[in-house]
Structure 1
Amino acid sequence: MKTENPLALDNQLCFSLYATSLAITQVYKPLLQPLGLTFPQYLVMMILWKEDGVSLINVARQLGQQPGALTPVIKRMAEQGLLTRNRSADDERQLQIYLTDEGKRIREKALDVYACVVEQCGMTPMDIHRLKCELDALRERLLKA
């Protein structure tokens, strides 16, 4: 790292993370197009494929976002026939999100996405896992700060 100018863009961790985030999103874009998903929609689907019937608040928490920011994404996915939005019987303020049959069906097609991303990263799955763990730990430290 060049330390002679601490304000140079090339010396900034934030820029490296930002630029890498943009690059990985661009890797996913053509892989998700056949599924009819955007990257934010794919993130929501991964949560629902793991556990169907999750509250909007829970989805937002897992993605580190506010529920209001996800509402347009969720609404669009419902319009696409991928999920349904239902008010909780226990608490009508809670919006529960459930996969439709179509939402469940595209999970099988999505299994190839991970392998393609691993290949394009040019890293082993173990290296990717290690990097992910380091980034998760960094995020946790930043959230506690």
Structure 2
Amino acid sequence: MATSSSPPPSSLDDKLCFQLYATSLKMTQLYKPMLSALKLTYPQYLVMLVLWEQEGLGIKDLAARLQQDSGSITPLVKRLEAEGYLLRNRDPRDERNRVLTLTEAGRQLRSACASIDPTIAANCSSIAGEFTVMMEGLRKLNTQLGKQVDN
């Protein structure tokens, strides 16, 4: 039983975890129609973003960059390969790992995705002045939580 000195239970809307979760859901919902037109899911889009930055990564390195385990990334990569956007080849230095290279269709997909960032920015325009501070705060939070999870 709560005593008079205990703080009242906080509401769902006061929970940071819920605000991050709900915002993430809304963001992926905003991306969904644009990505569906390109036959991509949001997680596949994230894979492509990483490969457009740095081609030739192994699945383990890609998974680390996306802060996921390789078991979660492999099905995404296989679907992207089936769509013709990338190739998985054995790493000559480690036969257990696959190196990912973009196909011409995968490189061209980048141009098709060019309208996505401006659309997202337009939908977030009301917080444009807070963007840099918010991103820095989220990066710090991600780093701090990563330290806790890794312990």
Q: TM-score, normalised by structure 1?
A: 0.91
Aligned with 1:40 (options 39, 43, 52): 43
- The answer for the alignment partner of 2:12 in structure 1 is 9
Distance 1:64 1:50 in 2: 16
- The answer for the alignment partner of 2:53 in structure 1 is 50
- The answer for the alignment partner of 1:142 in structure 2 is 145
- 1:49 Cα shift? 0.4
- 1:121 Cα shift? 1.6
In structure 2, relative to structure 1, the CA distance for the partners of 1:47 and 1:126 (3 Å cut) is farther
Distance 1:65 1:40 in 2: 11
- 1:125 Cα shift? 4.9
Residue-pair matches, total = 142
Query: Which structure: larger Rg?
Result: 2
Answer 1 or 2: higher relative contact order, Cα 8 Å, separation at least 6: 1
Letter in 2 for 1:46: L
Q: CA RMSD in A?
A: 1.5
Confirm or deny that 1:94 pairs with 2:113. Answer: no
Residue pair 1:82, 1:103 contacting (<8 A) in 2 also: yes
Percent of residue pairs bearing the same amino acid type: 38
- The answer for the alignment partner of 1:27 in structure 2 is 30
Letter in 1 for 2:83: Q
- 1:130 Cα shift? 2.8
- The answer for the alignment partner of 1:68 in structure 2 is 71
In structure 2, relative to structure 1, the CA distance for the partners of 1:82 and 1:113 (3 Å cut) is same
Structure 1: which 5+ residue stretches go unaligned? none
- 1:10 Cα shift? 1.7
Confirm or deny that 1:79 pairs with 2:82. Answer: yes
Confirm or deny that 1:59 pairs with 2:62. Answer: yes
Q: TM-score, normalised by structure 2?
A: 0.88
Structure 2: which 5+ residue stretches go unaligned? 1-6
- The answer for the alignment partner of 2:117 in structure 1 is 114
- The answer for the alignment partner of 2:3 in structure 1 is none
| Matched residue SS, 1:81 | coil
Residue pair 1:118, 1:124 contacting (<8 A) in 2 also: no
In structure 2, relative to structure 1, the CA distance for the partners of 1:11 and 1:126 (3 Å cut) is closer
| Matched residue SS, 2:43 | helix
